[in-house]
Structure 1
Amino acid sequence: MGGSKGGGKTTVGYRYSWDIQAGLGRGPINEIVAITADKKTVFAGYEGQISSSTSIFIDKPNLFGGDDTGGEGGIQGIFEVAMGEADQVPTPNVLKLLSGLVPGFRGMVTTFFSGLISCYSASPKPWAYRNRRTTKGWDRDIVWYPEKCLIRLENTQAQIDGQDEMTPDVIANLRAIHAMNPAHILVECATNRDWGRGLLLNEDLDLDSYRYAADQLYAEGFGLCFRYNRQDSLDTFVQQMLDHIGAAQYGDLSTGKTTLKLIRDDYNPDDLPLFTYDNGIIAVQDDDSTSSDTAPNEITVTYHDPVTNSDGEVRAQNLGSIQSVGLISSSVEYKAIPTHELAARVAQRDLEVGSAGITRLVIQFDRRGGQLTPASCFRVSLPDRNIVNMVLRVSKIDEADTGALTITAVQDVFGLPATSYSSGQQGSGWTPPDKTAVPVTDMQLVELPYFSLAATLSAADLSFVSPEACYLGVMATAPTSFSVNYHLQSRAAGAKFADRGRGDWTTSATLLTEVGPLDTELHVSMTFPPVVGGGIIIGNEVVRVDAVDLVSGKLMVGRGCADTLPRWHAADTHLRFLGSIVETDGQEYMPGESVDVRLLTRTSIATLDASLAPISSVQMNQRQFRPYIPGDIRVNGVSYPSVVERAGIYVLSYAHRDRVLQADRLFDCTEGSIGPEPGVAYTITLTHQDSSEVVWSLETTEASVELPYESAGIIAIGAAVHILTLSSTRDGIESLYRYQAILPRGWYIPVVPVEPPEPEDEP
């Protein structure tokens, strides 16, 4: 690493290469997202890149400055990952590193690195791994309610080390947060036989309560990222989860099963049981264990951002209380919360729950109070306290030897508008919200395209999909803010409607201005932003999200992706985010079948009657098997013209597309050639507009064709407008869409085949 004038070599430092095996924790996990050392990115992958045992080569020898003066080398070498599968065996490199009888390290995620780790200093930089686990590592590999297990969040603002050198797919994956549904965390804590309580899923848990909570948390986007390292007891960990989401978990005496109850505005006050001194209440006293006079008027929540691997803080304040009594601040750590937005919502929740002036009571009941459960709500009428109708929520239940129940309860913040006092004053005029289930008015049915199947099915499952198989996709918008989700019912023609399970609303937006076929900037009205790199469907066109500006309401997109063509769209057209929810009924249909669908809206108190639900239909068309329409279509160099300008010659060119090779990636219509898919040919026709007669047709595999068409000079008698059509075919199946353009008045010039020369007579 150096030299001298005398020709000899002078050692100025050393490069250090190590063989290192590391254990990351219990496995298997879903994937390793990134690796950092000294806060510098050693590895960052696209989604799913390291989702199974594999090896990669890390080539960053200058990560810490290289071997120049002042540098500390870098990382360069072979990196192996063993996910801890049940059939895992040690790799040859691990066998060389360890001696004796080497285990397979099954059930544990381990890594092995061999190569350069530093220069000048023999001490390696500390490595940190960013991992994801939601659906892997469950007991017996059985994931409860897998549809709602993963909650996708993101941090679009974080600064990422080495971002300029990364591809958009990698950057999108680093910004993505794969949070876990807290209801699923609690189910796994209860049922895991290794580190959990080992309860039986169907016998020991009230699964309806957990499923309801999972649906609600999924709809709220309330996903958590937390590692249970067993330094605390399981009870402590479970209570932390409950504190994060605002819930209670208890044993229901009526069923003998463990039940989960979210503390939410999910009740109608008039439906709650009403207790008085005449029907259950024995005595009432104030709860002196907590002073409401010093309730905090500022809550500071600390959360942990997995994208930056750092803590953040948000504050919620009651400005009126601060001005009145001064600042009374309280801090709480919710380290499982992964985003600033979610932390802000929780801070506001805690501020409202801890507000000063809320009534706290200790009520003694006779056995008629036995219907109450932890976190449940009830009403009381207490004339001696001038209370006519107050909603309380149970926080604690104690049973005395005499059989009497002592219930500690707090006035529920969601029930405050329903509270009445016998003060003689005029009522507030408050009207309870209308939670009636109303019909869905905004629904779109599609046949699922190939890229949707490639995004949701494993490679093995995708290979078993029949060419004739057709699948339904359902996208719908909530008709009211109180619509939780819906029951999906479907039928093939001639059959009866069948229940297909619950579905969730698809996040949508609205175009504010019209867009042309090749416009890439959309002005939209949106509440929640789409995922960068994800898909949007506008009408029947699929577009790719390239950038989001939520402040100005702009989306930068790639047009005409997958099997679609770029189209014109009017203002007020709905956009549906394919990265959100696209439901399916799980049925396989045949080409030509017509499928009817109706959605039964669900609120917290009602489900829409089936007779009131509108019926929509879609006809199956073998979409997932059809070849893609070509991309980058040009006539005389002009992209996707609908009307072609007059010219001396007419040249049609386009780029190949390959649905299998493209898989779940969305390439826009301007991309160069991909593929083509084996067996694909292109069909080009010229059609006389007036007579609808196809005057010329060509099937070719070439990507550029000069059309046999003339329109220059004096327009001859018989000249007419002709329609140019382009489509793809494979195995007798045509692409879903055809490109068409209007040619100026002219005529088809028959192509005269060149006759081979006659053979000469031999002498």
Structure 2
Amino acid sequence: MGGSSKQVTGYQYFANFLLFIGNPIEKLLGINFDKRGWAIPLLDDQGNPLDVGMINKPNLFGENEGGVTGQIHARYGTANPMPVSFYTDYLAENDLPPLAYPFQSYLAFEDFYLGNSGYMKEMLLWPKRIHIKNDYGLQWYDAKAEVPDLTNIVDYQNNFEINNDVPYQPFTYYFADLEIGYLRDELFRGLPLSDGSGSNDAQGDVSNYKQSILNRVQGSGFLQFEFIKVSYLITYHTVEMDTNFPPGLEIFEHTEEDVSSEYPNTSGFKARRVTYICRSSATDIGLDMHGKYGFDGRFKFNYDFVINNLDNHQTPIYANSGDINPIHKIREILTDDTAMNKPEHNVNVANFVKAADRVWDEGLGISWAITEKSCIDAINELCSHIEAGIRVNRQTGLYEMVLFRDDWFKEDEIHTLAESKIKSISFEVQNADDVVNQLNVSYYDRNNIKNASFSISENASIKNMQGRVNAESSDFPYFMNQRNAAVVAQWKLKQFTTPCWKGSFTTGHNQARKWNRYDIVKLNWSRKGIADLPVRIMNINLGDGIDNTVSIDFVEVVPFSDELTSSVVIDDKIDVTPLPPQPILFKAFELSYFEAVQAHGQRTVDDELAFNPYSGYVAVVAQRSQNNSLNAQMHTDAGTGYENSAVIQYCETAQLDQSIDRLASSFIVKKVGDLASVRIGSQIFINNEIMVFQGFDAASKLLTVKRGALDTIPKIHADNSVLFFADDFVAVDSTEYALGEAIDVKALSTTPSGILDLSGSDTQTVTIHSRAIRPYPPANVKINGQYFPIEIETDLILTWVDRNRSQQTGGEILGWFESGVAIEANTQTYLTLIELDEANLVLASNAVNVTGSSSYTLPMSSMQPATRSVQIVLKTTREGYDSYQYFNHIVELSTFFSAPYNLTAIVNEI
């Protein structure tokens, strides 16, 4: 690490420096500062590596210690990396030669804010190197290099994008007519391709031919091959068209579908649509079509061979980043010039491909980062993770992998040894006396960045031992998830809990000198009742040249396929990692006059309103999101970016257990906080209504309130509506906003370790209505002596009481249903009555100034004859400002039986 730093006002530290990772990597998956969570600064939305990334977490370490922000440049260890400009300038200023550090991965932090403490926090890097080798060349057998995390896999087939609407450049379509003649007398006669390309190189005798139908396709990337494959039964022989892919094409998917029904004129043929999805690292792709046929018959078939260029960036994508295939890692240790440096031709390619395929299917990927370890130790540890062994085949001299699986060796690869060929033998039953029936397994939990453990027990064995547990340890430091560790641990436990033969024997059998370590031999020894016992060779000694007796150490093969009655026991995790800041439930709103006075004092508020009556204040109440959060931050944005506006002290909350109407003053709540701490007479905010807390019965969860307090009217509220018990916990932005301004508000929880990122909070928008200057509306409104009636049968009689904004700034808060007070000075009360017909069309509208009154009557006789309902709007106005809310209700006229009516009675006599 090297670079320079500077300190600016407020003890904030900025720096330019380099951080070397080491050998080449293909991408940086994340950076974790001080174990506060992974930041992904150098990947785009598709997971592809970037050269430059940004981190913007200025409060990552908490309000006092700051965080990290700045630009990060990545160099991934290519042969000729471009130098980072600021470091090149630094070297030039100090007369040092510019260095780009080929084959070295490093990060360059430019103008990076390091927090306020003046020292670098611990930094965890998550680099990835799977698909490239140490020299930045393409990984061997790259198709199976990255093993998906099977705990959360997304099928890679769904991540290929095949675009059939655009030309495939530089890949194109090729067509071939392939004709087989009378094969008894003729060689294969191949027709050239339709564009004149391709070869016509019929080869071999009458039983074989070869036709190269693709030999000039240029380019590399992901491809889809699709063609029709045919076979034809000729007496006792089958004509079979087959396909061989050249080196450089790695197969991801191969499917075949019977489509014979689509070719009704080819009786006797079996047609299959064949699809390959593969990746090419070559620039000149050839494809050979091979056929084997009998000696009688003739057919001709058209081959439509299509190559589609797939999106070159759509590599197999998994929900979790995959790990490297341990077979690839073992091969790299063998061949890399920084390790054992064995020639690549000393590795049995077919064998390693077979092993890589099997481990990939099993999902046993590993991750590691080492600074120093012997190659032999590293290989042995990797083999232990996947239950495998590595050997040098004594016949071929090639390195080979042997996976300890039931079906690894074919039947003809298993040796047999007659009892008569055994010179001497000694063996015993291992695990007979002290059976291990539990493994305490450890692995690395990547998600939580720490070592983790669990136990796995063989229940049947424990029962047979009268409940006695005999435990051993098994460590898997390169497995990053519990699933992989559990899979292999069960295999190992099966070996521990199964009594099996272990020993050695000598033989003069000549063929035994050709056997290899980890081969399987079927052993016979009648005196122990052993017949065709499969044993694995663990060590083999060929003798000293004088005595050629072969000495072999063995252990009985324990089948892996048999099911265990084991159970995995994972202890409840004790989470010692502090919970990071979580999103919180909050309510943003504009302050009423009462709340503004509580926050700033009445004289201050009155003076500010006299100077700027159109102003308004934004406030927030919030629920605690987690135990380790003491408070939250209120951030507001009026169009110029978010600013930290206030500190939020959490209030208690509850939710409605059912919907409530306008009249309910007692109701059941759920998800209740500590309401015992709530002060009687304090405010409750729910949707657009303010209630007043009167009491709470913890046993029944019955909440009692006053409705429609201050400048609000009782509303209907739905089930699950949240009640915020504000009391003294209203956080207020001190900025005065103008009428009509829309303010975006976020509430960010804080913990000792950090602050919730802005992107983690919902946005609530508050539009300023100059609420504090507006008079309170009339309250306790009744229609014909009832609250909010549906209909009336007589004249409309309206009563109400007055409220006073400036008077009600202290003491007990009045509810909407309580008696009145003297109206605020210079305040007018206006009543608007709107008559509506059956279609709710306006027939008449009458606005009346009813200031000084507390009732008004509208006779039915004065209404329009077609009136069927009346809308009642009652509000106050002071100096041009209408009340923030107002009474608005529609009542129907029940006039059907109103006098006078002419009634006619029809009497049926019986």
TM-score tier by shorter-chain length is: 0.3 to 0.5
Q: Which is greater in Rg? A: 2
| TM-score (structure 2 length as normaliser) | 0.40
